[in-house]
Amino acid sequence: MSEDGGAARVALVTGAARGIGRGIALRLARDGLDVAVNDVEANRGELEGVAGEIEKAGRRTAAVTADVSAPDEVESMVERVAGELGRLDVMVANAGIAQVIPLLELTPEDFDKMMAVNLRGVFLCYQAAARQMIQQGGGGKIIGAASIAAHKGFAMLGHYSATKFGVRALTQAAAQEWAEHGITVNAYCPGIVGTAMWELIDEQLGGYMGLKKGEALEQYSQLIALGRVEEPEDVAAFVSYLASEDSDYMTGQSVMIDGGIIFS
């Protein structure tokens, strides 16, 4: 139940076993939403740990393992969440991967894998969530994971940047198509976040740049105007706004929350 005695709104956060996804899931639970969480089977243990934290916060939850790049799995995931928790009001398509590699070394297999998770995965989650929200009525909030790389392509992250530009375009198109149903569609664009993903980027960049562990992260962090590496909670606070009624008049936007790296 919500604080006013009505039924709690229900959110689903993909890629929620760790990092930004975990931060978002826990923040939405603190905001009073019931929060289902998703990740791949390999991360089941961590995912169930996050679900346990949500339950300790007094909210209902469901831990659903699924590959967001697989249409049948995404459809089943949304059906299960709506079935167990009653409905779906907020979809956060957060799941994503990263890889540092020069374009001249990039293989078609590398490219296709990045597209499958970061772009097709967001599309499938957007689509399945919209179908559920339209069916149940009452509108909804669809939120996607973009990046500062959705506003500027980055060297050594070419295919990653391409997926994020794609999320930005998809978000704009979906916002226009689903506005008549009361559904808003927006994306968040983090910068350099202190997560396992950025540890991987640091390691891979260091290999190409001849730097030791942590040195690439330190070098790139100097670009941040606010002078510190972003935390998952910084991103989660903005997603909290996107998931709330305060953002009801905002749609089709991919907003940078990066501490001041990219200005547009």
Domains and CATH numbers, the chain: 10-193+231-257 (3.40.50.720)
Give the Cα separation of 246 and 261 in Å (integer).
26
User: pLDDT, tens digit, for every residue of 232-247?
Assistant: 999 999 999 999 999 9
Across residues 209-230, what is the average pLDDT? 86
- Determine which of 132-136, 155-159, 195-199, 257-261 has the lowest per-residue pLDDT on average: 195-199
Asked whether 4 and 28 are in contact (CB, 8 A), the reply is no
pLDDT digits 0-9 by tens, 13-41: 999 999 999 999 999 999 999 999 999 99
Is residue 41 within 8 A of residue 119, CB to CB? The reply is: no
DSSP string, 138-197: S-EEEEEE--GGGTS--TT-HHHHHHHHHHHHHHHHHHHHHGGGTEEEEEEEE-SBSSHH
Could you give the CA distance from residue 172 to residue 250 in angstroms, rounded to a whole number? 11
Strands laid side by side in the 61-65 sheet: 61-65, 34-39, 10-13, 90-93, 140-145, 183-190, 254-257
Tell me the mean pLDDT in the region 145-150.
97
Helix (H, G, I), strand (E, B), or coil: what is residue 243? coil
Of 117, 66, 82, 96, nearest in space to 11 by CA = 82
Q: Which residue from 74, 175, 63, 82 is spatially nearest to 137, judged by alpha carbons?
A: 82
Decide if 199 contacts 232 (C-beta within 8 A): no
- 71-75, 110-114, 133-137, 223-227, range with the lowest pLDDT: 223-227
Beta-carbon count within 10 A of 102 CB: 10
**Residues involved in catalysis:** 160, 164
Strands in the chain per DSSP E: 10-13, 34-39, 61-65, 90-93, 140-145, 183-190, 254-257
